Amino acid sequence: MKKLLFGALLLLAASCTKKQEPFALLPVSDFDTTLNGKAVSLYTIRGGDLTMQVTNYGARVVTLWAPDREGRYEDVVLGYQNIDRYVNNTGERFLGAVVGRCANRIAGGTFTLDGETYTLPQNDHGQTLHGGLNGLDRVVWNVDSVKADRLVLSYLAADGEEGFPGNLSITMTYTLTPENGFKITYRATTDKPTVANISHHSFFNLKGEGNGTVTDNLLTINGSAITPVDSVLIPTGEILPVEGTPFDFRSARTIGERIDQENVQLKNGRGYDMNWVIDRKSPDGVEWIASLYEPVSGRGFEVWSDQPALQFYSGNFFDGSTTGKTGKPLRFRESVALETQKYPDGPNHPDFPSTILRPGEVYTHTCLYKFFTK
């Protein structure tokens, strides 16, 4: 009788413990499949107070659970609940993905390197966006290593893939640090001259996916200038000081405070969708470049990187017609992307930071989102 009673108490304790889990992970079975002869799955890593799920299809961050100031968890990135919704996508294509091999836009889908002109697929109003029709977000990455706090992925972008020259060998590591950091490192080499500008495209809502506007979030960007764009969001080649403009986030301002001001740049992007030139202290050190804070939950993060620029996008092209993982609509200005990068259309602007990678050189890039509460 005592043994039965003890066993019942153990089962009750286990049941209570399970009920007290702060969140439910997505089932791995909803992502297990084979695409183009390569296995796809869903991987979970943990570090500090953060838990993240990643699929190797597009190296996508699917969930990222973070606590608020009271210890309540929300999934703070936009995503889909199964692999079919990523593969047969009818909504936002780049949710949580690695983008490249040349992130952002390339004017007219063409560039010239060492006297040879390369033509790329045009997938955004006559431009090439985030690597073309089948960029790094639409390939199956190799899973090189899985540990409790990190995931190492690799991919060989073949010579001629999406029109780009050179076999580009890429290794990327996602790490969750004990200090609540989400760290991304990239390393790439090539066997012939090419261009490389790889970035990460999570859409963040610090209230939780589908839980309301980001226009009340406080944003700080350590950048004194932007690269203004034309009507199809291609840089004009100018460097425009932010002083006295809606783009001055050198001190914390809410995203919505000036987003609807009469301004041609805001009109072109239907809100914020442009590249900030970072005021760097050194040419290649990992430095603080931006901060985002959501005052109701107390969640925030700092962005640290070794890159010269940051793309800030305020979720202007979501319209609520598609839903996220929990069935909530993905709506207008309910997410933020902060993408560390070189300047957009870099291959066509010799005076911009170079995107050229040659044999014997190594492309490296570090991006760190340091989460905090206050």
201 classed as catalytic: yes
Give me the catalytic one of 74, 130, 200, 201: 201
For the CA atoms of 251, 254, 255, 261, what is the dihedral angle to 10 degrees?
-90
Kindly state the helix (H) or strand (E) to which residue 366 belongs, with its residue range: strand 363-373
Token pair listed for 207:
């209230």
365 is catalytic: no
Catalytic-labelled residue, pool 74, 161, 339, 365: 339
Which helix or strand (DSSP H or E) is residue 154 part of? strand 150-157
Q: In terms of residues, how long is the chain?
A: 374
Residue 87, φ and ψ in degrees, nearest 5: -75, -45
Looking at residue 329, what DSSP letter applies? B
Cβ atoms of residues 120 and 162 within 8 Å? yes
Quote the DSSP letter at residue 353: P
Amino acid, res. 28 = V
Sign of the CA dihedral with 347 first, then 351, 355, and 360 last? positive
Kindly state the tokens that stand for 80.
């889909």
User: For 302, what's the count of Cα atoms within 13 Å in the CB-facing half-sphere?
Assistant: 14
Q: In what order do the strands lie in the sheet with 299-305?
A: 142-146, 150-157, 168-176, 181-190, 363-373, 299-305, 287-293, 218-221, 253-254
Which residues form the catalytic set?
201, 339
